[in-house]
Amino acid sequence: MSGLRVLVTGAAGLVGAEVVARLAGEGHTVLALVHKRPAIVRNDGEVVRTVPAGQSGPGLVSCVAGDVTKPMLGLTAERYEELAAGVDRIVHSAATTDFGRRWETYESLNVDGTRNVVRLASERAVPLVHVSTAYVCGERTGRVLEDDLDVGQRFGTGYERSKFLAEQEVRAAATPVAVVRPSMVVGTQESGVIRDFKNMYVVLKLFTQGRVRSVPGFYDALLDLVPVDYVAALICQVVNRFDEARGLTFHAVGAAPHTLLDVSNALAEYPMFEVPHYVSPSAFDVDALPPDERVYYRRIIAMYESFFRRRARFDDTNAARLAPWRPEATGVDYLRTLLDHCVRVGYLGRAEAGIGDVLRLTGGPR
Ligand SMILES: NC(=O)c1ccc[n+]([C@@H]2O[C@H](COP(=O)([O-])OP(=O)(O)OC[C@H]3O[C@@H](n4cnc5c(N)ncnc54)[C@H](OP(=O)(O)O)[C@@H]3O)[C@@H](O)[C@H]2O)c1
């Protein structure tokens, strides 16, 4: 289907930028809600060309600056009404994905921000595609279904709790909705290219540089890594085939999760990398770590710690039915693709980054 008018929030983000570019490439008219960063840069670094709002049309992208945390997204009443009346779909991708933020930040951006976007969509019953996270499942173990939401799970991070509350807002919306839940978004399927080295990439840097040598966790814990191009393709497909997607949730996940042993084995193939070892959480003693490592642990690793003991497997039956293509089950090959890209662009393999550099990558000390 072509010729829709689609509003995308979080349009300059890692996922949002790819969605914007692809929707425009398919002939849709895209209204990109930007916040602090005005430029929309694709995952491969290409800057998306934009036109002034008055010149928008099929295949073109125009930007509107707004803030989802504010009533009416911080827009004038006139502009807000124009948006409500003038779009056929909304993709809500704006959020903070940082770990370790204060709860107020998650609540204001991820929960209240979603409520504000739901309100906009509900004004004129505009179909809403909400970008959530597979980790709304919290620390659940075993098979997680796309229909599952509140099963009394415990949350490992404030981020996932906020996304869980946001999904509840979306499910209660007075407008048709579909939810796409990516797991951990990483480099493209073919080349491993990734625009932003955040979250698990930061952890990987600490591991491979030998700054963190022991971590509480289990070698059979599961990490689900999903290529960014697949996530964007699935979101666009949900936009295009909304009649089939309506009311459904889609796990945008990798072909199969990787165990931490898979990750360790892949890291061990690179002679310049240090490889951390996992210590049973009950035996791990943070006070016994060397002083430097203790700092890294407390400031960074502790935020991700629950991922080193999780064993969730995400069922993706709905996504398999709708997705235009599927991530390949390439196992350790895909890890090599991701690592090779990190080495190629110099993100991994150099040891000169100090703790200040690592803190900067994670958004500074908190
Ligand atoms: N990346 C992942 O691994 C991952 C995994 C699972 C789910 N997800 C979900 O996927 C979605 C997109 O994530 P992403 O990786 O693309 O995140 P991202 O790169 O951090 O992008 C988030 C976007 O939200 C915008 N934003 C922040 N505050 C805003 C505000 N107050 N008003 C309007 N826009 C605001 C940001 O704009 P500024 O930078 O200009 O402030 C940015 O463009 C999120 O909903 C996230 O929860 C991501």
Mean pLDDT, to the nearest integer, of 31-43?
A: 97
pLDDT in tens, 246-265: 999 999 999 999 999 999 99
Q: Tell which one of 185, 195, 314 to mutate to probe ligand 1, the residue whose CB is within 8 A of the most ligand atoms.
A: 185
pLDDT for 330 equals: 78
Cα 137-248-178 angle, rounded to 5 deg: 95
As a whole number of angstroms, the distance between CA 17 and CA 52 comes to 18
Q: How confident is the model at residue 355 (pLDDT cuts 50, 70, 90)?
A: very low
Please state the φ and ψ torsions of residue 224, each to the nearest 5 degrees. Answer: -105, 115
Cβ count near 192 (within 10 Å): 21
β-sheet bridge partners, residue 61: 30
- Residue ranges lining ligand 1, Cβ < 6 Å: 9-10, 12-16, 35-37, 66-69, 93-95, 97, 109, 113, 131, 133, 163, 182, 184-185, 196, 199
Q: pLDDT at position 366, please?
A: 35
Residue 364 has pLDDT above 60, yes or no: no
What is the C-alpha to C-alpha distance for residues 165 and 105, in angstroms, rounded to an integer? Answer: 14
- Ligand 1 centroid to Cα of residue 130, in Å, is 12
| pLDDT higher than threshold 80 for residue 329 | no
Q: pLDDT digit string (tens) for 131-178?
A: 999 999 999 999 999 999 999 999 999 999 999 999 999 999 999 999
- Measured in Å, residue 317 CA sits from the centre of ligand 1 at 26
- The domain made up of 5-187+224-252 has a fold known as Rossmann fold (3.40.50)
Among residues 267, 288, 287, 284, which one has the least CA distance to residue 276? 267
